[in-house]
Chains A and B, each alone.
Chain A
């Protein structure tokens, strides 16, 4: 039946106005500027404007006495507090550079985190690759690390979550000529695992608890769908990296036989960003937003020294 309906829709699309057919034939699609370029230009402009404004308005702050609001363990260059609502980094790191491990604490300003409503989660269904054309190649930790050029293990993992046994290894799909077609790396951190290695569900909320970090240099096959149009989706600046965070209340069973209502909903957050040319997304289930932000910040900044700033304007 559904096929008949789709056929009908396809047939109706065939008969749309000739002007649209001609337009699509004659006019080329507009090219997008590379995201990194737009991001870099925007970040550079914002940094310049903010730096100029701060120096002009608060010259006294740049004298040698310490800023008592920063705390003793923090260097001013890292923990300078941004003004609320300006789109400044939530993980204060004005240089935009990754921090070395064991750097002083990174402060995460939660009032600068933007969360977008997710329309639909990407499907977990995998594409089928013809074994006559592609090989499934197992990569060990060293090969994965060499390919990505860095260790993507989050420096911060919330208490009660544990790394899955196979973390750090990956199953790549490679064309017969050696070209890598699918390079997805998955790092799983969940509260418990079954004997087969998959995350266990919690009780009474029948869902996983924890997060999966997915990474790909080629481009993640899965992609989130936001309710807002692509150009209206807001990003959060964490450690100099634009991160798109999505949220969806996910229903869980059992479902009422009469009303079909679920037993309840649990939180699902997805954070997507590009770090050094690697597309990364963190999908977190049954985790508070603050913990998700800390995990993301730890990947970006490379440190587990993270402090949450929950009070707006401080």
Chain B
């Protein structure tokens, strides 16, 4: 089914939207979540959560590129779950104390921070656009999709060391851009 047809189903509040989404993008989103979480059950949970978020967000949203939009949602849900799991795994001692003290810090979700993050995303977008296509795809595949270095090396036909070197160079380039743009981090 075409993306526009799936989106129409969402707009009509037809539950077939979920099954059509699952059929077309379920495996894709599961792969993204799995790369973040390294756990099949957690990845399944993320994908289910993603369907719910898609159901609640469309409408009013109308994604232009449904696959990329769903991928983003899956990635964000997976990242949230990763953070939650990570917090759970912390044990007693300093980590525990710091964890508790984090409650004293005001909520980081502020308008100011949101604007800052939007601007940072714009800088990253401009930088990605300036890269040669292969470098851009390599960066996205590694840091957006979370593909392993060895998988990428196999695809390119080179050594993992060479991929690691190239991604390091890309990270250094991004670092320089971020520094030029005014100490974002």
Interface residues of A (CB under 8 A from B): 5, 7-25, 27-34, 119-120, 219-226, 229-230
Contact = CB atoms under 8 A, between A and B. Distances in A.
B169 A225 contact: yes
Interface of B: 28, 63-65, 67-69, 71-72, 75-76, 79, 83, 117, 120-121, 124-125, 128-129, 133-134, 136-138, 140-141, 143-145, 152, 155-162, 164-166, 168-169, 172, 185
A15 B71 CA distance: 10
A5 B172 contact: no
Contact of B134 (A17, A30, A221): A30
B140 A14 contact: no
B137 A9 contact: no
Contacts of A8: 117, 120, 185
A184 to B, nearest CB: 12
Name the prevailing secondary structure of the B interface residues. Answer: helix
A20 B128 contact: yes
Contact of A18 (B69, B141, B162): B69
22 contacts: A11-B79, A11-B117, A13-B143, A14-B76, A16-B121, A17-B125, A18-B68, A20-B125, A20-B129, A22-B65, A23-B133, A23-B140, A24-B140, A25-B67, A25-B68, A29-B156, A30-B134, A34-B157, A119-B169, A223-B165, A226-B169, A230-B169
B114 to A, nearest CB: 11
Given A17-B128, A21-B71, A27 B169 contact: no
Contact of B157 (A16, A25, A32): A32
Contacts of A20: 125, 128-129, 136, 140, 144
B136 A12 contact: no
Given A11-B117, A21-B71, A24-B144, A16 B28 contact: no
Given A5-B185, A11-B79, A29-B141, A18 B64 contact: yes
Name the prevailing secondary structure of the A interface residues. Answer: mixed
Nearest to A4: B108
Contacts of A7: 83
Nearest to B119: A12
Tell me which of B68, B79, B120, B155 has the highest count of chain A C-beta atoms within 10 A of its own C-beta.
B68
B79 A10 contact: yes
Contacts of A19: 65, 68
A30 B136 CA distance: 12
Contacts of A9: 120, 185
Nearest to A27: B137
Contacts of B165: 223-225, 230
Contacts of B162: 223, 230
Contacts of A219: 159-161
B65 A29 contact: no
Given A29-B137, A34-B157, A223-B161, A14 B72 contact: yes
Given A12-B121, A18-B69, 6 more contacts: A14-B72, A24-B140, A120-B172, A219-B160, A223-B162, A225-B169
Contacts of B155: 28-29, 31
Contacts of B160: 219
Contacts of B137: 23-24, 27, 29
Nearest to B174: A9
Contacts of A24: 136-137, 140-141, 144-145
A32 B128 contact: no
Tell me which of A8, A12, A219, A220 has the highest count of chain B C-beta atoms within 10 A of its own C-beta.
A12
B79 A14 contact: yes
Nearest to A23: B137
B120 A12 contact: yes
